[in-house]
Amino acid sequence: MHIDRRDFLRAGVALPFMPSLMAAETPRTAPRRIVFICNTLGFHSKYWYPTEAGDLSSSEYLKGMRTTHKMSVLGNFYHPGMETSNHLSEKSFLTGALHPETPGFRNTTSIDQLLARENPQKTRFPHLCLSLLNRSCAWDKSGSGIAPIHDENVLFNMLFGVLDKSARRARLQRDQSIADALHRDIMDLGKHAGVDDARKLDEYLSVLNEFEQQISHQSKWLNTDKPVVANPIIPNGQYAFEAKIRNMLKLAALALQTDSTRVITLNMPFTNNSAIAVPGLKGKAGWHNLSHHSGQPAKIAKLKLIEESILRNLDQFIYDLDQVKEENGSLLDNTLVVIGSNMGNASGHTHNNLPILLAGGGIRHVPYRAQARPTPLCNLYLEILNHYGIPAPEFGSSTAPSSLLG
């Protein structure tokens, strides 16, 4: 049997990109949102963790943050099965799938995608998958990485740019014609398929059904105008790394504020080759190289400047969300921000005691809470799923839901 692979590739590529979103009417009761941010090289633990359990101002990194009363730092979480995964553990940050370094590894669905399925028709974009580079931390139900948006200008245009409705309508009609033809082909092939072929046809049909859902979703929003907002993007200039983070977070905040989406992931992966400049750093330095500091004070001092640059922008993002007032609190109160990493200590490639920070979400915050014993991070993810109304019995490597959200 033969099905035109190009048509299925076209369908598959269409899934991550939802290129026609709009401004929804402001709900009477503000919806709950969630943001996952992965800093793939983590944060230097000496400066990250508070030295006094009840006081975030005792953290060198967090003491200057403006919204600490709505933040919780969590300790002693880890991802099982990452002992030899090194940087490939990035793949499993939001899934908990074991041993991502093994040949033939197949990932599982990331938590953001489970949350996005709950209200796919309520926003123009059921989810936004963002990254500083072309590496995602979101994975679909087949375990395939979702192509991220890593250009802030592309993101702004997708969220708020003027849409050529006539061209989009024609494209949707063509896509539906392709889907109809493929349905007929699959039905014909299914009449004569063996067991193995039938299984493969089921996989094709699953992709095709998702493709049709996307067509239906985009058609629904086609005649709704996008929100009109001022473009917040600043030029990269001298500090391109910091500007990139700032721009992506500003656009993420606007996407939430306009109810263009309610689920966002932002991956902040390192690059092996590119040196970056941040305020206070003389010249440029390699972020990845500095993360392998082996305890050398000079390297740690430079790494600290890079991590402080990241945290300045995260602080601004959280603060900005808290300034937007909504029906039942602030935008931050209605958005759980989960900041973390797949690395506990990037210098040694360890995956225990992962740096995890929760902000907002209307939960009961405790400045710092370390688990009594090493605990799978997926226990927290399982509690988040339950907290958002998804009664999952397990998730990834979870053993039981944590009890931290209150």
Q: What would the DSSP string read from start to end of 385-400? A: HHHTT---S--TT-SS
36: tokens are 């996952």
Contact (Cβ atoms closer than 8 angstroms) between residue 179 and residue 12: no
- What is the per-residue DSSP string for 254-311? HHHHTTS-SEEEEEE---SS-EE--TT-SS-EEHHHHH--TT-HHHHHHHHHHHHHHH
Contact (Cβ atoms closer than 8 angstroms) between residue 361 and residue 383: no
Q: How many CB atoms lie within 10 A of CB 89?
A: 26
Rounded distance, CA 287 to CA 276, Å?
7
Which of helix, strand or coil describes residue 335? strand
Q: Which residues of the chain have pLDDT under 70?
A: 1-28, 172
**Pairing between strand 33-39 and 356-360?**
unpaired
47: tokens are 């400066």
Dihedral angle over CA of 336, 339, 367, 78, nearest 10: 120
| E strand intervals along 3-100 | 33-39, 71-78
Contact (Cβ atoms closer than 8 angstroms) between residue 137 and residue 97: no
pLDDT value of position 129: 98
Helices 240-257 and 297-323: crossing angle in degrees, nearest 10, is 20
pLDDT value of position 127: 97
- What is the per-residue DSSP string for 123-172? SS-S-EEEESSS--S-B-TTSPBPPPB--HHHHHHHHHSPP-HHHHHHHH
CB-based contacts of 157, cutoff 8 Å, min separation 6: none
Rounded distance, CA 147 to CA 19, Å?
13
pLDDT value of position 16: 32
Amino acid in position 389 = G
pLDDT value of position 28: 60
Q: What global pTM score does this model have?
A: 0.87
Q: Which pLDDT tens digit goes with each residue over 275-295? A: 999 999 999 999 999 999 999
Q: Which pLDDT tens digit goes with each residue over 97-147? A: 999 999 999 999 999 999 999 877 899 999 999 999 999 999 999 999 999
Amino acid in position 344 = G
pLDDT value of position 6: 42
CB-based contacts of 73, cutoff 8 Å, min separation 6: 48, 49, 50, 56, 59, 62, 355, 356, 357, 367, 368, 369
